[in-house]
A and B are shown apart, each in its own frame.
Chain A
């Protein structure tokens, strides 16, 4: 009879941003069940929003998630504008698109770095985050801050993009394109990474639909949905771009989707910079009418949805936020169960949750409760597996 071991993962760990608590039930080396306890970052934002004015809500929702920090204000302004059909000037649409795509680049590069760390490719981590700095610098030029940009406003945007920033922006995009080319070569053409990541953590198309999975998580399983194309907002139907999908549904496909999306983002940004007309950036609405507003956008991780109910006053009656990770999380039941513990961390990270999913991991024997494995050993197991594979396939040590 094989022993069942429960591995609690969480909730605090050095390399992860947000705490979580996973419980893996393991039979030998195979994961047989997973349960996740969230709520460690629950701050009661929906309730707080009921007491704030519409302007202040934008600053509140910006801080729901640091990485998607412009996705939430973007949906927020669209939802509030949906109540009464507020007009937005054309230039503002382009600026909104530009900021959203820059954020997508930032987020995917961040994920690439973290994935590199989990796999033991420390150089990938350092380089991905180094090139992420180009995006952060670009943000600092346009918005004044590396994160939490404060760009969105009901009726338009808060700040204009001055002509003098253009050369720096275009150069930034050129440098980024070279970096993305490099990462494409490193990730997609590396046989070791292919062997390491292919076939693990597979989310089937049927499961992706059952769980209503979103973003690259579902597009890598062949579900061809992207809010930017299905219900275009901002300037997405004025520029040419493609929705990236893959069909295998494994961790490798998720990486491919994210890397190829970066090319599309750079292209969209360049087109926006070219096509942006001169003009006002804010229609300056004075009142929010009574009614309900709904909006959704495609954040880097998937669809973000906001619902707002207004009674004509300056604060909403109800504000509902639904982030993409909320829908992607439960897919763990379908992707991690049946895999080995050394693959658990990279599969958990593959949905790109709003935090680094490896926490302090303790393997506890379910029968006598003694600690068997400590701390970062689960990440180390993942890194060891990559090292062994690398040595076997190339004959060289992984640096």
Chain B
């Protein structure tokens, strides 16, 4: 495993990217920062710019308005970066599939490493998903 990836895992900086979501997943992600769940004990910090991010937390169905922007943010994020699809909408567009406003599902726009289903997934599920991702990457040679 590259040394950059190894270093990233010690304290992953997380950027939250939303495109076409109802907000629930986004609130649960922000909730992870609050004292009850406290994501910062894992060294995870929410950053303000994709250029500083190691992990992209994506929510939302990816509507037509957002496709080019998601691609741009993904390219701006320094590699290696990990992408997490949070919530049913980013996993599969769920009940919005077929809408005139929905573009392709997230994993057909950018490569996704981990899917966290739920509507919305509880903060415990989100933390577990990110921790599992870190372990998975650590265990890959």
Name A residues whose Cβ lies closer than 8 Å to a Cβ of B.
Answer: 11-19, 39-45, 47-48, 56, 59-60, 63-67, 69, 110, 126, 129-130, 133, 146-148, 354-355, 360, 374-376
Contacts and interface: CB of A to CB of B under 8 A. Distances in A.
B23 interface: yes
Interface residues of B, number: 40
Given A14-B49, A42-B63, A67-B27, 20 more contacts: A11-B69, A12-B17, A12-B69, A12-B73, A14-B15, A14-B16, A15-B30, A17-B26, A17-B30, A40-B63, A41-B22, A41-B60, A42-B101, A43-B61, A60-B95, A64-B22, A69-B22, A69-B24, A354-B23, A355-B26
Interface of B: 15-28, 30-31, 34-36, 46-49, 60-61, 63, 65-66, 69, 73, 95-96, 98-102, 119-120, 122
Given A15-B46, A376-B48, A48 B99 contact: yes
A43 B101 contact: yes
A13 B30 CA distance: 12
Contacts of B73: 12
Contacts of B35: 126, 130
B20 A375 contact: no
A65 B24 CA distance: 8
Nearest to B14: A14
4 tightest A-B CB contacts, nearest first: A66-B24, A66-B23, A17-B26, A44-B99
Nearest to A39: B65
A43 B102 contact: yes
A40 B17 contact: no
Contact of B20 (A15, A42, A374): A42
A63 B24 contact: yes
A329 to B, nearest CB: 16
Max count, chain A CB within 10 A of own CB: residue among B21, B35, B47: B21
B99 A66 contact: no
A130 B17 CA distance: 24
